[in-house]
Structure 1
Amino acid sequence: MEDFSPSDLKTILHSKRANMYYLEYCRVMQKDGRVLYLTEAKHENQYFNIPIANTTVLLLGNGTSITQAAMRMLAQAGVLVGFCGGGSTPLHMSCEVEWFTPQSEYRPTEYLHGWLKFWFDDEQRLAAAKTFQQARIQFLEKVWNKDRELKLEGFDFNNDAIQTALSTFNKRTGDAKKQSDLLLTEAQLTKVLYRFAANNTDIKDFTRQHQSTDKANDFLNHGNYLAYGLAASCLWVLGIPHGFAVLHGKTRRGALVFDVADLVKDALVLPWAFICAKENATEQEFRQQVLRAFTDHKALDFMFETVKQVALQHYTAEAIEAQNL
């Protein structure tokens, strides 16, 4: 059988990769041409393999370390690596860098060129933001109408309160004259979704708090950061810097990650955060549920499709062909 080099692993499309890992209290290393993580048990050390060819994001939490050799293999396989706090939140690293991004001189450039082609025009950037907002609702409709588990938990897309809120959302989104109008409309819809989810799961007096100890808020924070990992991976693969946001503030260097993550948060993270809080699930159980939902509903695929559509909307076939010469 012919041997593969780590760089050959990048031939597996990132949008088709299945795994996103959060590790804590372990050591990540390279051994016999594989990337492993080592945990210290009471009587012996245990090694577990990380299938880097099928992995998009590796989050390293409390008590972790990584060797240079492992980092080299992860970079060659195109795996995004980030350091974070406990439970995968918050993301942090020295020098205000959130992600180690593998270096490659041969990533596609047409998506960056297409993005910049419209980004400096206020009207076109607003139109792209509206496209993102419309896409997130389409994904919400698709997921909530398809997912039997969510339906059994009462998350019905055709609920009167949801439809009324979406009708208002669609009208105000279409009428929006600037990004702040869209953000206000988004905030109003999100409040309705929170209220609907809280009532649906019998969680009393819910208030969204980013610094909180109640499970629903903790799970929302946790799930959102998992979505940020997928979004960062999508943008790295397409070669679009995180600072070129279309909706969130232009002065925030990671704002485009928030834009892309928002495509899937309402549909997947929000309902499962409340369901798992109602069931008093552990952090690990919630994480496994959300990651499974991401895979089942092809969340990363949807991010790629949406970002590529927006990036290439003003990019001619002739320009794409010229890039490939």
Structure 2
Amino acid sequence: MEQLTDLKAILHSKRANIYYLEKCRVMQKDGRVLYLTEAKDEQLYWNIPIANTTVVLLGTGTSITQAAVRMLASAGVLIGFSGGGGTPLLAASEIEWLKPQSEYRPTEYVQGWLSFWFDEAKRLQVAKHFQHLRINYLQSVWSKDKDLKNEGFFIDDEDVTRSFSGYPEKVERASNVTELLLIEAQLTKNLYKAAVNRTQQKDFVRNYDNTDNANLFLNHGNYLAYGLAASTLWVLGIPHGFAVMHGKTRRGALVFDVADLIKDALILPWAFICAKEKTTEQEFRQQILQKFTDHKALDFMFDSVKQVSLQGGAI
């Protein structure tokens, strides 16, 4: 069996794999973590390369053995339970993450984060900084992604540039988080409109409970982004409750803050494109995971959170 140090050789920010599994059994066999699927006349085993895996998300009809959990934990893999398609089984519930435990996890990042978190003014400044990072990432992704350009998403189109017009100044003028959330919501609304115009999804209304493909894909893609964000925060040792944007009464609010860094850039356009093309949910998931890799989404999350933590909020 691989040594513990071997399993952690690949940094989390460089790992390539996120697995969503359903209707299978995850187990340890011959020193490897496998998942077993049952076809009509045979059983099929598939290997999970745990040293290069960030998240294993278990959907409906899954089970996992204690031995498999032990091996996944030793490699620092985050394990999550969800409903079908990667979204919660029950309305308003959160994914429950099983986090590997170790006395030797880093403390510098949580100490840096907490050094500013209890100061409301510094917390607001970090929230504003996250908004700037989010816009910069979106502009970078949309300006160089050839697939998006082929679908009509150009960063210099009039309606897109109008969406960004004055945004940095509005963010800096916000006097509290409530104002910042309203500014953020208006930007996302404008981007929804731009995506609708390019993909002919004319009847679209954003509603988490709607069953049209655009809404389903947005929900699904958001939960994949939450998986990246939760993994980032776990590796850096920062509890999910120390949010800067999403409200101090939501236990996983910092996950939402970090996921927002990439959602508009990657999830939003591809949810509408895949809805237009009537892709399957699996095809949409594969597309999103590929774009996470292409645009180094996990790296970006790590770098952003580490920068804020090490600077103690002095952005």
Shorter-chain-normalised TM-score: which range? Answer: over 0.9
What is the TM-score normalised by the length of structure 2? 0.96
Q: What is the correspondence of 1:38-77 to structure 2 with a 5 Å cutoff?
A: 38-77=36-75
Provide the C-alpha distance between the structure 1 equivalents of 2:313 and 2:233, rounded to a whole number of angstroms. Answer: 18
Structure 2 residue aligned with 1:132? 130
Q: 2:255 aligns with which of 250, 254, 257?
A: 257
What is the TM-score normalised by the length of structure 1? 0.93
Structure 1 residue aligned with 2:206? 208
Structure 2 residue aligned with 1:226? 224
Describe the superposition over 1:83-134 as per-residue Cα deviations: whole angstroms up to 9, x where unpaired.
Answer: 0000010277xx9771000001111111000000000001100000011000
SS across alignment from 1:65: strand
Q: 1:113 aligns with which of 111, 114, 139?
A: 111
Q: Residues 161 and 258 from structure 1, CA distance in 2 versus in 1: closer, same or farther, beyond 3 angstroms?
A: same
SS across alignment from 1:46: strand
Cα displacement (A) at 1:36: 0.2
Structure 2 residue aligned with 1:288? 286
Structure 2 residue aligned with 1:305? 303
Structure 1 residue aligned with 2:143? 145
For 2:169, the aligned partner's letter is K
SS across alignment from 2:100: coil
Provide the C-alpha distance between the structure 2 equivalents of 1:296 and 1:140, rounded to a whole number of angstroms. Answer: 14
Provide the C-alpha distance between the structure 1 equivalents of 2:240 and 2:121, rounded to a whole number of angstroms. Answer: 20
C-alpha contact 2:88 2:94 (8 A) present in aligned 1: no
Structure 1 residue aligned with 2:243? 245
Matched, 1:12 2:13: no
Structure 2 residue aligned with 1:99? 97
Structure 1 residue aligned with 2:181? 183
Provide the C-alpha distance between the structure 2 equivalents of 1:138 and 1:89, rounded to a whole number of angstroms. Answer: 28
Q: Residues 313 and 53 from structure 1, CA distance in 2 versus in 1: closer, same or farther, beyond 3 angstroms?
A: same
**Where in structure 2 are there 5+ consecutive unaligned residues?**
none
SS across alignment from 2:98: coil
Structure 1 residue aligned with 2:81? 83
Provide the C-alpha distance between the structure 1 equivalents of 2:99 and 2:298, rounded to a whole number of angstroms. Answer: 17
SS across alignment from 1:99: strand
Cα displacement (A) at 1:174: 0.9
Provide the C-alpha distance between the structure 2 equivalents of 1:217 and 1:25, rounded to a whole number of angstroms. Answer: 24
Q: Residues 103 and 145 from structure 1, CA distance in 2 versus in 1: closer, same or farther, beyond 3 angstroms?
A: same
Cα displacement (A) at 1:315: 8.2
Q: Residues 302 and 279 from structure 1, CA distance in 2 versus in 1: closer, same or farther, beyond 3 angstroms?
A: same
C-alpha contact 2:22 2:59 (8 A) present in aligned 1: yes
- Aligned length in residues: 312
Deviation above 4 Å: which 4+ runs of structure 1? none
Q: 2:22 aligns with which of 21, 24, 48?
A: 24
For 2:125, the aligned partner's letter is A
Q: What's the % identity of the aligned pairs?
A: 69
C-alpha contact 1:82 1:91 (8 A) present in aligned 2: no
CA-atom RMSD in angstroms: 1.5
Describe the superposition over 1:267-323 as per-residue Cα deviations: whole angstroms up to 9, x where unpaired.
Answer: 00000000000000000000000000000100000000000111111389xxxxxxx
C-alpha contact 1:139 1:267 (8 A) present in aligned 2: yes
SS across alignment from 2:36: strand
SS across alignment from 1:131: helix
C-alpha contact 1:198 1:206 (8 A) present in aligned 2: yes
SS across alignment from 1:11: coil
SS across alignment from 2:271: helix
Cα displacement (A) at 1:205: 2.1
Structure 1 residue aligned with 2:152? 154
C-alpha contact 2:123 2:313 (8 A) present in aligned 1: no
C-alpha contact 1:223 1:290 (8 A) present in aligned 2: yes
SS across alignment from 2:96: coil
Provide the C-alpha distance between the structure 2 equivalents of 1:85 and 1:39, rounded to a whole number of angstroms. Answer: 18
